Structure 1
């Protein structure tokens, strides 16, 4: 009975939590949209109207940023706000994460590699960029150094280490699948090395 209950939880819980998170996001955005409509004097209460409004606003903002003057003005405001250290730290981190997630139309620089450890084992890492910051290159010994991210299991945090390119073993594995492998400590995988959506 205990095994059956555990099996049921393992199958139902991920789906239930995922649906709950998406529903919570939907309700929050819908509430924000309804609030905007009420501020405009529009009193229509239909489930989803606020969510549609927020979606349309985001789409319009996306179109607006394709216009040079608006993009320039936003960049200027961004530069002024970045003068404040606390805002710079918080906003910069969020912007970097958003940039990592939104890679449409951009060359995917992230490459999956294996790095040999002192005990003879290997760890999965990711080359995030081929161009380390100049201060780091100036401080390091001569060589072709690249930043390699070692993802920590069950969290988005990781450790970035500078490794010589010659010490890396390239792996024909997509960034998304390898990231999923690391995040789940190797649980989410199939015999051929491809992620199995049914096991996530």
Structure 2
């Protein structure tokens, strides 16, 4: 009985939580859109009209940001707001996370690697960039150093370490499968591809 309940929970929980999360996001954005419609005196005709308005506004914003003058003005405003330390920290973090999600068309630089530890064990890591930032490269001893992320289990956090490229063992394993392996401490049934 205990195994059956656990199996049911393990299968249903991810689906139910995912649906709930996306439904909550839909309802929130629909409510925001309805509020915007009410501000201009338009009544919402159907459920989802507010969501459609918000999605349309985001699409139009994407089109506008492809126009140089608007992108320049936005960049100038962004630069002015970045002068405030608290805003810079919060906004910078959110912008970095958003840019990680929007990497379409860019080559994926994350490569899965193994790094040997002092005790002979290995840690799964990810090359996040092909070179260390210049200030770090200048401070490090000679060598080809690369930033490697060691993801912590069950967290969206990790440790970035600078490792010599010669000390890395490259693994033919997709970033997504290896990340799933790290995030679940190897519990997830990931198959190497």
Q: TM-score per shorter chain, which class?
A: over 0.9
Tell me which stretches of 4 or more aligned residues in structure 1 moved more than 3 Å.
none
Give the total of aligned pairs: 193
- Which is worse superposed, 129-138 or 28-37? 129-138
Unaligned runs of 5+ in 1: 195-200
Is 1:193 the counterpart of 2:192? The answer is yes
CA RMSD of aligned residues (A): 1.2
Distance 1:145 1:86 in 2: 32
Residues 22-72 of structure 1: per-residue CA shift (max 9 Å, x gap):
110010000000000000100125211111111101100001111110011
- Alignment TM-score, normalising by the size of structure 1: 0.92
Distance 2:87 2:176 in 1: 30
Distance 2:4 2:79 in 1: 57
Distance 2:10 2:110 in 1: 32
State the secondary structure of the residue aligned to 1:42. coil
Is 1:140 the counterpart of 2:143? The answer is no
State the secondary structure of the residue aligned to 2:98. helix
Residues 94-148 of structure 1: per-residue CA shift (max 9 Å, x gap):
1111111211111211111110111111111011111212111111111111110
- Alignment TM-score, normalising by the size of structure 2: 0.96
